[in-house]
Structure 1
Amino acid sequence: MDTCEIAKDVISRLRENVAALQSAIRRRRKGDSVLESSVSDYIQLRRKTRKDARKLVAQLKQQMGNHNYKLPAADQGDDDEQFSAVIRVMREVNAASSCVLQALLSFVATPVFRREKKQSKWGIASKLVMTRKVAAVGCEVNEIQAADVALLVGEGEKKQFGTNELESVERCFKEIEDGLEGVFRRLIKSRASLLNILSQ
């Protein structure tokens, strides 16, 4: 549950940052330092989020791989079949929730495209083209990576400076945020049910 709540907060921060960046793009003027600052803030947050998400994924994997990690179990002498069934279901819920969270966090933890000091915007664009070619044979370029490249390649005079990609990313973050909220509520219900059973 804690990991789910942290993941939800991470996604919320990203979505708010994307919304602020979109607002800066709509209001921008030529040579606008606010836009440059907003893009820089977004890329910085992406890097921090990637690092945090990878840590959370590692923690989840460790929990699932740790044979000593168990939900509260019945006393050794307890043969209550109903109680054992509840424990089994709770373990399954825990495993399923962990898998969902790992998938969502892995999506957020995609590498951040960045421009090297001597790299032109077309060098970055060619990176994306190559990545898309790789995607055609099995890997996937997600909306977050496409937005990274659009922001780095985009030219100040272009009205559609990364706008479409950012809208797509914001929609993704909103869907993920809503999904995590649903998972979080179900986990709370499951925990309450288990505590209720244990107290009887």
Structure 2
Amino acid sequence: MDFSAMNQTDSHHLRSNSLPSKPHPFIDQVDEHLHRFKEASEATSSCSSSELSHKLNGLQELHDCIDNLLLLPLTQHVLVEDSDTKPFDDLLEGSIRLLDLCDIAKDALLQTKECVQELESVLRRRKGSETFIASELQKCLSSRKLIKKTIYKALKTVQTKSCEQTQATPAIVSSLKQAEDVGYNVVESLLSFLAGPKFRSNSSRWSLVSKLVQSKRVACEVEETSRNEVALVDAALHSVCSQKTKKHDFLAQVENLQSSLKVFGSNIQELEGDLEALYRRLIKTRVSVLNIYNY
């Protein structure tokens, strides 16, 4: 992003010993973070939990830089000058929508964690017939489907809102809007991760299940095909609930599901902490912008 135009426009108002004539290091830091996110989004279309955690942490660092940028007199001057314009209103509205989306993601994480805990509880007991175990897991599967449905509905809303964000804005406001768009993309990726893949038909679903639960090569297959931990858990859960295997295979699938849940549960816990930390930084950024406007 080029901030030279902003510097030139306001130089006759703000040129002083306290402000350098070249772009401030905070501006360069924001640009660098935004560039990294752009490259990352072009490199991959799906994320594992570790990649999502890395992106959430990267967003926290981006907003730390933005908070520093908002302390600059030049930044505050531009925001005050444009505080009565539509781009500024869009900026404030967009920050609220992003916080709302984070709330949806937080709820989805909580519901997914509770679903994982219920699954682990059922599998730990492992008493009764295969039919009983499959029946109990089927209840968990129904809960999982409701979670997926809620997430898919939220994702449709995100796609509609992001299409509306296309306006020429002052450079600093444009930078904040780009950070907002990055936030949308990352949280949307998190929701897509939690939703897992859609199965188009029973036949394709069970074909995928059979491939995923055949051997210990599952983890490698998941990584190679850009699938995530959710895809693996969903596939293993569908497989156990199907009751279409011999007892030996059924027990193997139960063990595979337990193993997948153990890893997945730990990752969900980490993502919860990362998202909560980001949420606090987003609130801090919004408060900083409002304080500049109300000053």
TM-score range (shorter-chain normalised) is 0.7 to 0.9
- Tell me whether 35-44 or 22-31 shows the greater mean CA deviation: 35-44
Structure 2 counterpart of 1:179, from 274, 285, 293: 274
How far residue 111 of structure 1 moved from its aligned partner, in angstroms, is 2.7
How far residue 151 of structure 1 moved from its aligned partner, in angstroms, is 2.7
2:278 is the alignment partner of 1:192 = no
Q: CA-atom RMSD, angstroms? A: 3.6
Q: 1:24 is matched with which residue? A: 122
How many residue pairs match? The answer is: 184
Q: 1:77 is matched with which residue? A: none
Rounded to whole Å, the distance in 2 between the matches of 1:165 and 1:188 is 35
Alignment of 1:1-200 (within 5 A): 1-31=99-129, 35-67=133-165, 87-111=173-197, 116=202, 124-126=209-211, 139-154=225-240, 157=251, 160=255, 162-200=257-295
What TM-score do you get using the length of structure 2 for normalisation?
A: 0.52
Q: Give yes or no for contact 2:108–2:194 (8 Å, CA) kept in 1.
A: no
Query: Residue deviations 1:42-64, cap 9 Å, x none?
Result: 21222222222222222222222
How far residue 127 of structure 1 moved from its aligned partner, in angstroms, is 6.6
Unmatched runs of 5 consecutive residues or more in structure 1? 74-83
How far residue 186 of structure 1 moved from its aligned partner, in angstroms, is 1.2
Rounded to whole Å, the distance in 2 between the matches of 1:108 and 1:122 is 22
Q: Give yes or no for contact 1:60–1:102 (8 Å, CA) kept in 2.
A: yes
Rounded to whole Å, the distance in 1 between the matches of 2:223 and 2:112 is 29
Unmatched runs of 5 consecutive residues or more in structure 2? 1-98, 241-246
Query: Residue deviations 1:1-25, cap 9 Å, x none?
Result: 0110111111111111111210221
Query: Residue deviations 1:154-192, cap 9 Å, x none?
Result: 456557251101112212222222222122111111111
Structure having the higher Rg: 2
Percent same amino acid at aligned positions? 26
Going by fraction, where is helix more abundant, 1 or 2?
2
What TM-score do you get using the length of structure 1 for normalisation?
A: 0.73
Letter in 1 for 2:232: A
